Every structure is written in C-alpha cells, then in structure tokens.
C-alpha cells in the first residue's frame, strides 16, 4: 500500500519550482552543519538529509510558507544525527538524542537560547505524524519532507520532473536498507520509542512502496 495522496490529475501541490530555485542558506552555521553531517553520516544518510531540506524548502517556497531557512537547513542536516554510532543513545529516542546534539552545535554557533530551543523542537517533531503549519512552519515542512523520504508520503505533491532532478543530483545510495536496519536496531533497544512504533506499524512494508525508490529513477536503491 503506497503511503501518499493521489493527485487525480490535479496539479502537484508543490509546482513551478526547479532545484535551482530552492534557497540554500550560506551562513557560518549552515556550512558547519553540512560539515558535521558530512563527517558523521554515511553517504546515503547525508544525501537523505540534504534531500529532506530540499523537499522542505521547496514546499515552503512554492506554497508561500514563511520559514527561517537557516534554521530549517541546520535541522534537516542534523535531524538524524542521533542514529549514527557516535551520538546514539540507549536511553532516549534517536530524535531526542539528536536534538541535544543540535543544541550543543547551535550553542557553539552562537545561537541564542530561544533559537536553540526551536532547533531542538523541529528535530523532535520530524517524527510526529504531522505538524501544524501555524504552530511550527519549519517543523511542518520538515516532517512532511522526511515522511516523503522514508515511506513516500506526499511524493505526489511534487512534479515527477522535480523529483527526478533532485534524485539525479542527490541519489539515494541504498538509503532504504540502511534506514530500516537503523530503525529495527532502535526498536530492539528502545521498545517505547517512536522508531519502535514505526517498525510495529509496518514500516518495512510502507518503505517497500516508496516511489522514490522505484527502479526508473537512476541511482535509486
């Protein structure tokens, strides 16, 4: 069962945008976040994080959702940092562990307390079923982007040409296998975590139907 909404021939919800139209912040914090993600993520997880930002920022740009692009970029690059061996936790869910890493990172970047808190919120909320855009616009677009990345939800919101362009520049590199293994490991060690809940909710089956992993896309897993 494919976890996405049919378009019924309607125009995609995120339309009229190309990869070059997606704003990428060029700040010290965003460059440092990319460096940290590059140092600790596998190539597949790094590309996943970059794509998560692209889907999220493209939605915000195309739909006129006012977001802080630097905050969104850093959150996207670090949202799965709690899955990597160096920052894994045996006591809290991976997104909570990642939020603490992000707080330390953003303190080093000189962000004030409120901005550090917001970064942590966005990272934690990416595992929610959905986030109200009026409550948290960055959390809203990142939550939808990561759901699209992993199970294909909301994939039909984007034109096939845009999806293909993003995947060509940032291929999936076997993400599905790596991610499922990470979540199954998290579930075994932390049965009350959100990752465990996802595994119990047939994550493997839903991932298998992700259109982003369809064989017609070059470089897909």
**Mean pLDDT (whole number) for 147-153:** 97
Q: pLDDT higher for 136 or 11?
A: 136
Return the minimum-mean-pLDDT range out of 13-17, 44-48, 122-126.
13-17
**Mean pLDDT (whole number) for 93-112:** 98
Q: From CA 134, how far away is CA 130, in angstroms rounded? A: 12
Could you tell me the sign of the dihedral formed by the alpha carbons of 67, 71, 74, 75, in that order? negative
- Given a cut of 80, whether residue 104 has pLDDT beyond it is yes
- Given a cut of 50, whether residue 151 has pLDDT beyond it is yes
Q: From CA 14, how far away is CA 162, in angstroms rounded? A: 10
Q: State the virtual CA torsion across 176, 178, 180, 183 in degrees, nearest 10.
A: -140
What pLDDT is recorded for position 47? 98
Q: Which residues contact 28 (CB under 8 A, 6 or more apart)?
A: 109
**Mean pLDDT (whole number) for 12-37:** 95
Q: Rg (Cα) of the chain, in Å, rounded?
A: 16
Three-state SS string across 41-106, please?
A: CCHHHHHHHHHHHHHHHHHHHHHCCCCCHHHHHHHHHHCCHHHCHHHCCCCCCHHHHHHHHHHHHH
- Domains of the chain with bracketed CATH: 26-213 (1.10.3210.10)
- Given a cut of 90, whether residue 2 has pLDDT beyond it is no
Closest C-alpha to 14, from 145, 179, 130, 132: 145
């Amino acid at each position: 069962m494919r976890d996405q909404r049919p378009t019924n021939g309607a125009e995609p919800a995120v339309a009229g945008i190309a990869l070059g139209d997606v704003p990428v912040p060029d700040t010290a914090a965003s460059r440092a976040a990319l460096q940290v993600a590059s140092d600790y993520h596998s190539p597949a997880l790094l590309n996943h994080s970059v794509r998560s930002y692209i889907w999220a920022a493209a939605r915000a740009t195309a739909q006129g959702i006012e977001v802080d692009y630097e905050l969104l970029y850093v959150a996207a690059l670090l949202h799965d940092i709690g899955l990597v061996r160096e920052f894994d936790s045996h006591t809290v869910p991976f997104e909570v562990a990642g939020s603490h890493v992000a707080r330390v990172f953003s303190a080093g970047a000189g962000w004030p307390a409120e901005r550090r808190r917001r970064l942590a919120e966005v990272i934690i909320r990416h595992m929610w079923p959905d986030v109200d855009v009026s409550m948290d616009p960055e959390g809203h677009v990142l939550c939808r982007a990561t759901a699209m990345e992993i199970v294909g939800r909301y994939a039909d919101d984007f034109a096939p040409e845009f999806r293909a362009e993003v995947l060509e520049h940032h291929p999936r590199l076997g993400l599905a296998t790596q991610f499922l293994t990470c979540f199954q490991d998290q579930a075994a060690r932390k049965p009350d975590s959100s990752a465990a809940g996802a595994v119990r909710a047939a994550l493997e089956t839903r991932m298998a139907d992700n259109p982003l992993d369809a064989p017609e896309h070059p470089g897909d897993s």
